Amino acid sequence: MRRAIVEEHHILSGRYSMSISTMVRKQSPAPEGANAAVVSWVDEIAAITLPDDVVWCDGSAAEWDDLARGMVASGTLTRLNPEHRPYSFLARSDPHDVARVEDRTFICSAKEEDAGPTNNWREPGEMRTTLGRLFYGSMRGRTMYVLPFSMGPLGSPLAKLGVQVTDSPYVVASMGIMTRMGTVALGLFTDATEWVRAVHSVGAPLEDGQQDVAWPCNDTKYITHFPESREIWSFGSAYGGNALLAKKAFALRIASVIARDEGWLAEHMLIIKVTNPRGRVFHVAGAFPSACGKTNLAMMVPTIPGWTVETVGDDIAWLGIGADGRLRAINPEAGFFGVAPGTGFSTNRTAMDTIWGNTIFTNVALRDDGDVWWEGMSDKAPDHLTDWRGYSWTPASGRPAAHPNSRFTVAARQCPSISDDWEDPRGVVIDAIIFGGRRATNVPLVVEARDWEHGVYLGATISSERTAAAEGTLGELRRDPFAMAPFCGYNMADHWAHWLSIGAKLRKTGAVPRMFQVNWFRKAADGRFLWPGFGENSRVLEWMLDRVDGQVPAEESALGLVPRSSDLNLDGLDIADEDIAELFAIDKKSWLAEAESTERFFATFDGRVPASVQRQLAVLRQKLG
C-alpha cells in the first residue's frame, strides 16, 4: 500500500511514466502541429486517469452539436421547445452537486502563510498524494476531452492560454461557450508559451457494461490549485466553477498569482462602457460580492436621458498597465455564467434578452410548454412546473421551483448591450473603479476615495451585513475584500500590497483612475430600502463620472468625498429629502465600532497588512474624532 501511494504521488509530480498505448483503448490523434509539450502532458494525464478514449476538441459548431445530441440521448440535457427558446437545453445536476464547494477548495502553495487566512491550505506533497489515489483510473470507461483555450481575446497581450482535460461532455459544451476554445487556441501555443494545466474528472469511472447516470459525480470533492506550478486539479464535481476550470480557478485563483508575479491584476470585477450626453466615453471596473447588484450594473439601462451603458464584462477583469501608461482591462471570458433566480424583465431586461436562445440552463424549472422558469423571472409563477429535481411543482408546493444557485450559460456576443470594444486586444482604458457591498446601515450611497491608497483601503474593507440568523449573527459583517475572498490565490494582505504597487506605477504616468465606494442597499429604520436601485443607479454613475470629467466639486466627509446635495441628479425621482439625508448620514458611534471590527480583521493577517492601509484606518478614526 505504501508503495502504491508513493507511485501515485510520483504520477502527479511528473516523475512517473507509462506507455499510453497500453492504457487507453482508443485515442484520436493530436491535431497536426500541436505543441509537443501539450501533447506530452495530455499523454501523461491519460496514463493516470485511464480513459477509454481521448478526443481533442476543435471548438466547432458541429462538435458542439454532436455533444449536445449525445447528452440529450443520455439524459444529461433536455432540449427546450424551439418555438420559445431556440437551440437551448436544460440540465439537472445531482442534488448534491449544485454550487461551488468552498470548504473543499484548496490553495497548495509551498508555504502556508502565502495562502493566508482567507484560503484553505494544504501542503503540496500531501495533496498530490491524496489526488494520486483519487485520479488513478478515474476516467475508466469514459472519454477524456482535451480543451485548449484562451482566456481573453485571441492574441491579446493581456490574454493567457490553458489546457483543460475533462471526462464531462457538459463541461466541454460549457467551456465552448465560456472561453475561446479549440483549434484557434491550440494554434497559439509555442515552445515558449507559459500555460496553465487543468485536470478535471467527475470521479465516476465505469466498469464494462455498467450503466451510466445522467449527471455523474462523486461525494468526495477536491478543487485544488498549485500556484507555483500553475496547475489546477478538480475531482468529484461537474458543476460551475468546480468544473469549468477556466473560470474562478484559472481566471482568478491562479491568474491572481500570475498577475502578482508579472505586475498586473486579475480581479472579480465587471467592466462597463459608459457614454454621457456630451459624447464622452468612460470605462468603469467594479468589484461587488455576490447579491450586491453586479450583473444588474453590468447590463444597466440608465433611467436618465442621454446616458448609455454597454457591457464589456460581467464577472472578471484582467487589468494591466498599457504601453500608454494607462490602466487597461480585458474581460478574459467569452460568455456569461449567470445566476437565474431574481433575473427578470423588471430587474434585468438585458440579461433576459441575452438568453433568448443558444443557452444552457442548469437547475431551473421546466414549464409545461417546454420553456424554462425560475423565481423572479415573472411576478406570477405558472400554475404547474417540473422543478429542478424533476418533480411536479405548483405554487402551493412550499419549495423553490428553481435551485437558488441555478444558472444560465450563454455567449457574451448575444448580449444586446455588448460593447463594440469588448474584445479590443489592447484592453479598454479604465477611468474609474467602484467597490460595493450590501450594507443596510453605515455605508453611504456613494463616496469617492481621496487617493489610490484610500481606495485600496475601501476595497480591503468591503463587507456585507448578514441578513438572517441562519447565516450567523444578525448584522454581523461578512468581510469580502475586493470581492475576492473566495478567489484570491495568495495572501489577501499581499494582494492589497500589490494594488498599492500598481498605484505607484500609475502615478508615474499621471493616469490614475478615480476610486469610489457605493451602497445601493441602505435601509430606513422601518426596513425599507432608501434608494430605488437598478436603472436609477445611473444617477450615481453620473455623479462619479462627472467627477472624473472635472464637472462637479465634492464635499469632504470622515469617510471620503461625497456629493453636494445639489449635484446628485434626482430629477423625476420620487424620494424624500430626509431619505437622501439618511443615505449619506454618518453615525460616529457606529463607525468607531466598525473601525474596531476592521482592526480585528486586519490582525488575522499576522502583520502582513501594508502600513499605508493601516494608516487609512488611523485616518478614519482621527476624522471621526
The CATH number given to whatever domain includes residue 375 is: 2.170.8.10
Domain end residue (candidates: 371, 391, 413): 413
- Is residue 361 in a domain? yes
Q: Are 369 and 299 contained in the same domain?
A: no
The residues pairing with 447 across neighbouring beta strands, listed in sequence order, are 517
Task: Round to whole Å and give the CA distance between 419 and 281.
Answer: 12
Task: Round to whole Å and give the CA distance between 405 and 244.
Answer: 15
Catalytic amino acids?
292
The residues pairing with 79 across neighbouring beta strands, listed in sequence order, are 89
Q: What local confidence, expressed as pLDDT, does residue 116 receive?
A: 97
Task: Round to whole Å and give the CA distance between 301 and 538.
Answer: 8
Task: Round to whole Å and give the CA distance between 623 and 561.
Answer: 13
| 83-to-80, 357, 368, 370, 388 alpha-carbon distances in Å | 9, 10, 13, 9, 21
Task: Round to whole Å and give the CA distance between 447 and 458.
Answer: 10
C-alpha cell at 495: 494582494
Q: Are 439 and 551 contained in the same domain?
A: yes
- Is residue 88 in a domain? no
- Residue-wise pLDDT for 267-302, tens only, equals 999 999 999 999 999 999 999 998 788 999 999 999
Q: Are 285 and 150 contained in the same domain?
A: no
Task: Round to whole Å and give the CA distance between 147 and 334.
Answer: 15
C-alpha cell at 38: 501539450
Residue written as cell 470548504? Answer: 103
Nearest to 221 by CA among 100, 388, 86: 100
**Contact criterion met (CB below 8 Å) for 155 and 225:** no
Amino acid at 214: A
Q: For the CA atoms of 110, 114, 116, 120, what is the dihedral angle to 10 degrees?
A: -20
**Contact criterion met (CB below 8 Å) for 91 and 362:** yes
- State yes or no: pLDDT of 9 exceeds 60: no
Nearest to 180 by CA among 362, 422, 483: 422
Nearest to 118 by CA among 569, 435, 539, 483: 483
Average pLDDT, stretch 559-576?
95
Q: Are 395 and 432 contained in the same domain?
A: no
Q: What local confidence, expressed as pLDDT, does residue 449 receive?
A: 98
Q: Say which residues have a Cβ less than 8 Å from residue 592's Cβ, sequence separation at least 6.
A: 621, 624
Q: Say which residues have a Cβ less than 8 Å from residue 431's Cβ, sequence separation at least 6.
A: 282, 283, 284, 513, 514, 545, 548
Place 23 in a pLDDT band, splitting at 50, 70 and 90: low
- Residue-wise pLDDT for 92-108, tens only, equals 999 999 998 999 999 99
- Residue-wise pLDDT for 105-163, tens only, equals 999 999 999 999 999 999 999 999 999 999 999 999 999 999 999 999 999 999 999 99
Q: Are 435 and 323 contained in the same domain?
A: yes
**Contact criterion met (CB below 8 Å) for 285 and 433:** yes
Evaluate the CA torsion angle 369, 372, 378, 383 in order and state its sign. positive
Nearest to 320 by CA among 409, 430, 460: 430
Q: Are 168 and 257 contained in the same domain?
A: yes
- Is residue 591 in a domain? no
Residues in the chain, total: 625
Task: Round to whole Å and give the CA distance between 459 and 617.
Answer: 13
Place 509 in a pLDDT band, splitting at 50, 70 and 90: confident
Q: Are 343 and 429 contained in the same domain?
A: no
Nearest to 413 by CA among 313, 280, 267: 313
C-alpha cell at 356: 433568448
Helix H segments across 148-212?
169-178, 183-186
Average pLDDT, stretch 320-325?
95
| Element housing 89 (H / E) | strand 89-91
- Residue-wise pLDDT for 211-222, tens only, equals 999 999 999 999
Q: Are 182 and 322 contained in the same domain?
A: no
Q: What local confidence, expressed as pLDDT, does residue 473 receive?
A: 52
Q: What local confidence, expressed as pLDDT, does residue 18 receive?
A: 41
Q: For the CA atoms of 462, 611, 248, 246, what is the dihedral angle to 10 degrees?
A: 150
C-alpha cell at 592: 468607531
Tally of structural domains, the chain? 3
Evaluate the CA torsion angle 320, 323, 326, 329 in order and state its sign. negative
- Is residue 479 in a domain? yes
Q: Say which range, 274-288, 353-367, 464-478, 527-541, has the weakest mean pLDDT.
A: 464-478
Q: What is the CATH number of the domain that holds 320?
A: 3.90.228.20
Task: Round to whole Å and give the CA distance between 415 and 422.
Answer: 11
The single-letter DSSP state of residue 523 is B
Place 471 in a pLDDT band, splitting at 50, 70 and 90: very low
| Element housing 432 (H / E) | strand 432-436
Q: Are 399 and 429 contained in the same domain?
A: no
- Is residue 614 in a domain? no
Amino acid at 450: R
More confident residue, 8 or 426: 426
- Is residue 528 in a domain? yes
- Residue-wise pLDDT for 184-226, tens only, equals 999 999 999 999 999 999 999 999 999 999 999 999 999 999 9
Helix axes 492-509, 255-262, angle to 10 degrees: 40
Query: What rounded mean pLDDT belongs to the chain?
Result: 94
- Is residue 85 in a domain? no
**Residue 82 φ/ψ, nearest 5 degrees:** -65, -20
- State yes or no: pLDDT of 525 exceeds 70: yes
Place 469 in a pLDDT band, splitting at 50, 70 and 90: very low
Residue written as cell 447565516? Answer: 471
Q: What is the CATH number of the domain that holds 159?
A: 3.40.449.10
Amino acid at 548: V
- State yes or no: pLDDT of 442 exceeds 80: yes
Q: Are 287 and 200 contained in the same domain?
A: no
Domain end residue (candidates: 228, 263, 298): 263
- Is residue 484 in a domain? yes
CA angle 125, 127, 133 (to 5 degrees): 110
The single-letter DSSP state of residue 269 is -
- Residue-wise pLDDT for 333-366, tens only, equals 999 999 999 999 999 999 999 999 999 999 999 9
**How, if at all, do strands 360-362 and 89-91 pair?**
parallel
- State yes or no: pLDDT of 610 exceeds 60: yes
- Residue-wise pLDDT for 394-412, tens only, equals 999 999 999 999 999 999 9
Q: Are 396 and 438 contained in the same domain?
A: no
What is the percent of the chain with per-residue pLDDT over 70, rounded to a whole number? 94
Place 28 in a pLDDT band, splitting at 50, 70 and 90: confident
Place 22 in a pLDDT band, splitting at 50, 70 and 90: very low
| 419-to-268, 308, 333 alpha-carbon distances in Å | 19, 11, 14
| 171-to-30, 201, 429 alpha-carbon distances in Å | 20, 10, 33
pTM: 0.95
**Contact criterion met (CB below 8 Å) for 245 and 225:** no
Task: Round to whole Å and give the CA distance between 243 and 513.
Answer: 35
**How, if at all, do strands 372-373 and 385-386 pair?**
unpaired
- State yes or no: pLDDT of 20 exceeds 50: no
**Residue 584 φ/ψ, nearest 5 degrees:** -115, 5
Domain end residue (candidates: 357, 390, 413): 413
Q: Can you give the residue range of the structural domain that contains 257? A: 2-74+102-263
Q: Are 392 and 441 contained in the same domain?
A: no
